[in-house]
Structure 1
Amino acid sequence: MDIVAEVLKKSAETAEKYKPITVTKHLDLEYDVGSLLAVDKNELDTKAINKNKNDYLLSLTRDNVQLLLNKVWDLPTERVDETVVVRLPPSTFVLPRSKPVPRPKPLTKWQQFALEKGIKKKKKPKLSWDERLKKWVPLYGFKRSIAEKEKDWVIEVPQNADPFEDQFEKRKIAKQERVAKNELQRLHNIAKAQNIKIPRTGLLNPDVSSSKDLQAAVTVARSSTASLGKFQDKLPKEKEARGISAITPGASRKRKLPPVPATQEKEENLAVLNSILNKKPKLDIEKAVNRQINQEETERSTEKKTRKPGGNKINKSKGGKKPKSGKGKSAGRKRR
């Protein structure tokens, strides 16, 4: 009997701990299983909220999540790597975006040509068998040039060529020109995809080129130094060509700021506002004293200017009366 009572007690505790998976609602929830979204339109129990808000919200959340999981497990399941998974259907709820949907990357000239002709990219092998060297030679990389030197250790001089001309150096220069041409064409394709106008380069024909093209070409040539034209002198009345900021690197660089959440942006704005409103004015004592001295000196100078020239000064220590002419001490002495 003790064992039966203990088992019943454990089952009762388990039943209290784990609630049943069946949940009843007055109104059915709206589901979007693809986004794992459930919308509950039932009215809230105000009495339960006022009594114990946290427990009520916790139980309500548990019931809604249980209903959502019931909908998920109604979908067909499959086993992948000894794990039971469910494939969610496409979502129907449209989530708002903080930024627009990114546009697809435009195709390059070669990609567009390959798409039109149906050319598919094939994975090439890294090595190929050379019949002359009788060994496997890499198709690209620094070891390719070593194999070419071993293969072409001697070059036949053409009939019309200079017999004293270095054919190895000529071949090296031709390869560098091909690489530079390919790089220039790649940059042209990038500029064309981004709708950037590029001025003509090289020898310009004044009959075909406009004044803007010439000015842009001059600016490009001037900014091609290591300092991007910072220390280059300009001609008098010279204006910078339009669109040169898009061509010259570093001419105009816009800061790309990461997206800021609304709460963080609100806190930063409130911090700036508090720093402005709570800012106390700083009193510069030295500056205030100098201003007072300057004001007193200007007042004295104005008083001196307003006095009449040649006027007699009044001696206020002796009654403030002006002595009469001819009746002073010197006059009395002469009479005696």
Structure 2
Amino acid sequence: MASNSQHVVENVLKQTALLEKKLKTTEVTKDIDVELDPGNLLSVDPNPINVKEFRQNREAFLKSVARDNTQLLFNNIWKLPVERVDEVILVQIPDATTNLPREKHVPKSNPLTRWEQYSKVKGIHKRKKSRKVWDEEEKKWVPRWGYGSKNDEEKDWVLEVPANADPYEDQFMKKRKDKKERVAKNEFQRLRNIARAQKLKIPGQGVKPKTLTKKPEVSMAIQAAKQSTASIGKFERKLPKEKPTRQMGKKRKFDPVCGNMADERSRETAILNSMNRKKPQIDVTKAVNKEIQEDQDYQRAQKGERKKPGRSTKKAKGSKKALPTVKKRKSGGKSKKGKSR
């Protein structure tokens, strides 16, 4: 039995030694104190990096430094006041001392609407309404709005006709129309609040007619009003001295589905010509005349002659070819070689 117990103790000691080698101690020493901010759970290590160890094994070195700094942070956290709530240990973390930058800018507060401004001046406080209200007819709590509410349109299977209303008027249609007008009014007020917040010009309710002062604007407005009918102004009455209005806008043209081959060839030729117009055009006549002139100048330079002032290439009027103009000499004159003509 003694040998067995001694063997067990030796095994436990070996396992403990191995565990101590794997687990490092909680005491960490640094040459320069690490700056700790428990409020942000932040630790800043100002110690210089050992370049030799870093180059030998980068991953192991970074893990070792991160482990030591984290251990120092947790040591500092366990020094803070601790309390137990429902068998859970809680630590009272102090306020942060390091100002960390925000990822996004601070959100701006929405501008006040007209009602919010009025309620602020008058001291009106908004009270939160309950989700359900009591319905006396059904003797139960129903939603304040939405499906199954007190004002649900499906519940009104009969409506009372007011005394001052038309007895043949559809009250159901009138109720739906009034609801649409209320929704449109709320949407208009919402858009007006947005425009006021952006300091834009706010129009009044309804569409104001535009004042037309110029004659073309008036004629265009009359033509648009006439063509706004179902027949596009075909059966509209005309004034006694009214001039026929011209066609407003461009009329679209469509090519026939089964056309002639000659027409198709001409269309393709027109497309190619339009594409070639965009390229720079070459004046063949001018290029040929320039080549002739350069050839003549080169031949004169080889013979040692000077360019005569009378010989020049001018483009004759009404012709496409440029002919050299030769100045006539007087009779009896001598040539350059001394021979008379």
Instruction: Give the shorter-chain TM-score range.
Output: 0.5 to 0.7
Q: Secondary structure at the match of 1:189?
A: helix
Find the partner of 1:3 among 5, 8, 15: 8
CA shift at 1:189, angstroms? 1.9
- Identify if the C-alpha distance between structure 1 residues 107 and 21 changes in structure 2 by more than 3 Å, giving closer, same or farther: farther
Q: Secondary structure at the match of 1:31?
A: strand
Distance in 1 of aligned mates of 2:288 and 2:210: 73
Paired residues, number = 228
Q: Is the 2:159–2:172 Cα contact (8 Å) retained in structure 1? A: no
Does the alignment pair 1:90 with 2:95?
Answer: yes
- Residue of structure 2 in register with 1:124 after alignment: 130
CA shift at 1:95, angstroms? 2.0
Q: Which runs of 5+ in 2 are unaligned?
A: 1-5, 212-220, 222-247, 250-278, 294-312, 314-322, 328-341
- Identify if the C-alpha distance between structure 1 residues 297 and 171 changes in structure 2 by more than 3 Å, giving closer, same or farther: same
Q: Is the 2:161–2:167 Cα contact (8 Å) retained in structure 1? A: no
- CA-to-aligned-CA distance 1:164-215 (integer Å, 9 cap, x gap): 54455444433332332222122222322333332345365999xxxxxxxx
- CA-to-aligned-CA distance 1:99-145 (integer Å, 9 cap, x gap): 432212334344455556352432423352234x6666543225433
CA shift at 1:17, angstroms? 0.5
- Residue of structure 1 in register with 2:198 after alignment: 194
Distance in 2 of aligned mates of 1:96 and 1:138: 46
Does the alignment pair 1:154 with 2:155?
Answer: no
Which one is further off, 168-177 or 24-33? Answer: 168-177
Bigger Rg, structure 1 or 2: 2
Distance in 2 of aligned mates of 1:110 and 1:100: 28
Q: Is the 1:34–1:91 Cα contact (8 Å) retained in structure 2? A: yes
Find the partner of 1:145 among 152, 156, 174: 152
- Residue of structure 1 in register with 2:74 after alignment: 69
> Could you say which structure has the higher helix fraction?
1
- Identify if the C-alpha distance between structure 1 residues 112 and 15 changes in structure 2 by more than 3 Å, giving closer, same or farther: farther
Runs of 4+ in 1 over 6 A off after TM superposition: none
Distance in 1 of aligned mates of 2:168 and 2:118: 44
- Residue of structure 2 in register with 1:300 after alignment: 288
- Residue of structure 2 in register with 1:271 after alignment: none
- Identify if the C-alpha distance between structure 1 residues 111 and 146 changes in structure 2 by more than 3 Å, giving closer, same or farther: same
- Residue of structure 1 in register with 2:32 after alignment: 27
Find the partner of 1:18 among 19, 23, 43: 23
CA shift at 1:93, angstroms? 1.2
Q: Is the 2:132–2:141 Cα contact (8 Å) retained in structure 1? A: no
Distance in 1 of aligned mates of 2:140 and 2:72: 69
Q: Which runs of 5+ in 1 are unaligned?
A: 208-217, 219-232, 235-289, 312-336
Q: Is the 1:129–1:135 Cα contact (8 Å) retained in structure 2? A: yes
Which residue identity does 1:128 align to in structure 2?
Answer: W
Distance in 2 of aligned mates of 1:163 and 1:44: 94
- CA-to-aligned-CA distance 1:243-292 (integer Å, 9 cap, x gap): xxxxxxxxxxxxxxxxxxxxxxxxxxxxxxxxxxxxxxxxxxxxxxx99x
- Identify if the C-alpha distance between structure 1 residues 8 and 148 changes in structure 2 by more than 3 Å, giving closer, same or farther: closer
Does the alignment pair 1:103 with 2:108?
Answer: yes
CA shift at 1:5, angstroms? 1.9
Q: Is the 1:137–1:147 Cα contact (8 Å) retained in structure 2? A: no
Question: How do 1:167-316 residues align onto structure 2 when only pairs under 5 Å count?
Answer: 167-202=171-206, 204=208, 299-303=287-291, 306=313, 308=324
Report sequence identity in percent. 41
Distance in 2 of aligned mates of 1:167 and 1:49: 85
Which residue identity does 2:43 align to in structure 1?
Answer: A
- Identify if the C-alpha distance between structure 1 residues 308 and 36 changes in structure 2 by more than 3 Å, giving closer, same or farther: same
Q: Is the 1:130–1:136 Cα contact (8 Å) retained in structure 2? A: no
- CA-to-aligned-CA distance 1:56-109 (integer Å, 9 cap, x gap): 443222211110111223233456786544453332212234643221233434
Instruction: Give the number of the structure with larger relative contact order, counting CA–CA contacts within 8 Å between residues 6 or more apart.
Output: 1
Which residue identity does 1:141 align to in structure 2?
Answer: G
Which residue identity does 2:125 align to in structure 1?
Answer: I
Which residue identity does 1:129 align to in structure 2?
Answer: D
CA shift at 1:24, angstroms? 1.7
Q: Is the 1:157–1:167 Cα contact (8 Å) retained in structure 2? A: no
Q: Is the 2:34–2:45 Cα contact (8 Å) retained in structure 1? A: yes
